[in-house]
Copies of this chain bind each other. A is one copy, B any other.
Amino acid sequence: MSETNSSSTDARRPRGILAPVLTPFHSDLSPDARRLARHCRWLLAHGCAALVPFGTTSEANSLSVEERESLLDAILEDGVPAGRLLPGTGACSLTDAVRLTTQAVRRGCAGALMLPPFYYKAVSEDGLFRFFAEAIERVGDARLQLYLYHFPQIAQVSFAPKLVERIFRAYPRTVVGMKDSSGDLGYTKTILGTLAGSGFDVFVGSERFLLAGMREGGAGCISATANVNAAAIDRLYRAWGSPEAERLQAEVNAVRGAVEKVPVIPALKAVVAHHAADPGWLPVRPPLVDLAPAQRDALLADLAALKLALPELRG
């Protein structure tokens, strides 16, 4: 089975700023659904058009499939709207990817963001195509809106432009976009040049590339730093065609630069913990480790100097 093309862009698709939502853990490292739901609501109220639970920043691959399923159900029950969620559903195992994607579709999620299977390296284009084709066929649901997750530095398995086009051409109503975390604007341009005209939405993986991406026809960004700076990134998104754009880009770059001086995931948890006055946000699962106190102090001082504001996070 493959699908007939449909070149119209679906108005319900998210555009703008998406956060790969940090996953809070209890002190025993079990996932904390209550804090997660609260953070989701805060993000949606402060600049995020939609959310990606279970991205790289979410430590998704440090969670079991059951933990991911339970967390998604818990935040939906807690009132986070499914229509604004694009959960990460990728896995090395086809059966896991199908199970997680099926759950996302059945719960009414706006889409699903799928990593390639990332254990075997140097796999063939045919093998990766077959993985995605099997996954789509096995989910077997016309509601599925699939986004490909390209992050070659971490996954090590990447989406060559030819592969992206092949998957899109085979399933044009299902495969509707990608997150491009390559940091390679040449790659972004190649994908947008080939597919943006067909309604394929490309989100850059860092706000550093937001303005450049929007100028090439991008759809926004899905960025770790959106966990703490979505409002400012969203201002850039809305003003990308205006004379203010370069200044807004420089401002969000400065915050990103401060965060990137240290490991980003524990850094973002430290920032949320500080602004929420809630040390319960700090734990990360191994193999990640907490920031050293000196790293944390320097980070918070840098961000204070940049006047980073996280209104209403406390309480």
Q: Check A99–B64 contact: CB distance below 8 A.
A: yes
Q: Which residues of B contact A56 (CB under 8 A)?
A: 119
Q: Number of contacting residues on A, CB 8 A?
A: 38
Contact (A287, B128) CB under 8 Å given A95-B67, A119-B154: yes
State the CA gap A289–B126 with chains docked (Å): 7
Q: Which residues of B contact A286 (CB under 8 A)?
A: 94, 117, 127-128, 130-131, 134
- 9 A-B residue pairs with Cβ-Cβ distance under 8 Å, sorted by A, are A29-B94, A62-B119, A63-B93, A63-B95, A64-B96, A119-B155, A127-B286, A128-B286, A131-B287
A250 within 8 A of B: no
SS of A interface (majority): loop
A307 within 8 A of B: no
Q: Pick from B61, B93, B289: contact of A119, CB below 8 A.
A: B61
Chain B, residue nearest A91 (CB): B64
State the CA gap A288–B131 with chains docked (Å): 9
Contact (A117, B289) CB under 8 Å given A29-B94, A94-B29, A156-B156: no
A42 within 8 A of B: no
Interface contacts beyond A61-B93, A120-B154, A157-B287: sample of 20 additional A-B pairs, CB < 8 Å, sorted by A = A61-B119, A62-B93, A62-B117, A62-B120, A64-B65, A64-B96, A65-B65, A67-B93, A117-B286, A118-B119, A119-B154, A121-B153, A123-B287, A124-B287, A124-B289, A127-B288, A128-B286, A128-B287, A130-B286, A130-B287
* Residue among A99, A128, A157, A285 with max Cβ neighbours from chain B (10 Å): A285
**A227 smallest CB distance to B (angstroms):** 17
State the CA gap A63–B124 with chains docked (Å): 19
State the CA gap A57–B92 with chains docked (Å): 14
Q: Check B61–A287 contact: CB distance below 8 A.
A: no
Chain B, residue nearest A157 (CB): B287
State the CA gap A153–B65 with chains docked (Å): 26
Measured CB to CB, the residues of A under 8 A from B are 29, 56, 61-65, 67, 92-96, 99, 116-121, 123-124, 126-128, 130-131, 134, 153-157, 285-289
Q: Pick from B62, B67, B154: contact of A121, CB below 8 A.
A: B154
Q: Which residues of B contact A29 (CB under 8 A)?
A: 94, 134
Chain B, residue nearest A29 (CB): B94
Q: Check B127–A289 contact: CB distance below 8 A.
A: yes
**A107 smallest CB distance to B (angstroms):** 20
State the CA gap A288–B127 with chains docked (Å): 5
* Residue among A61, A96, A286 with max Cβ neighbours from chain B (10 Å): A286
* Residue among A61, A155, A157 with max Cβ neighbours from chain B (10 Å): A61
State the CA gap A288–B128 with chains docked (Å): 8
Q: Which residues of B contact A128 (CB under 8 A)?
A: 286-287
Q: Pick from B123, B127, B156, B288: contact of A123, CB below 8 A.
A: B288
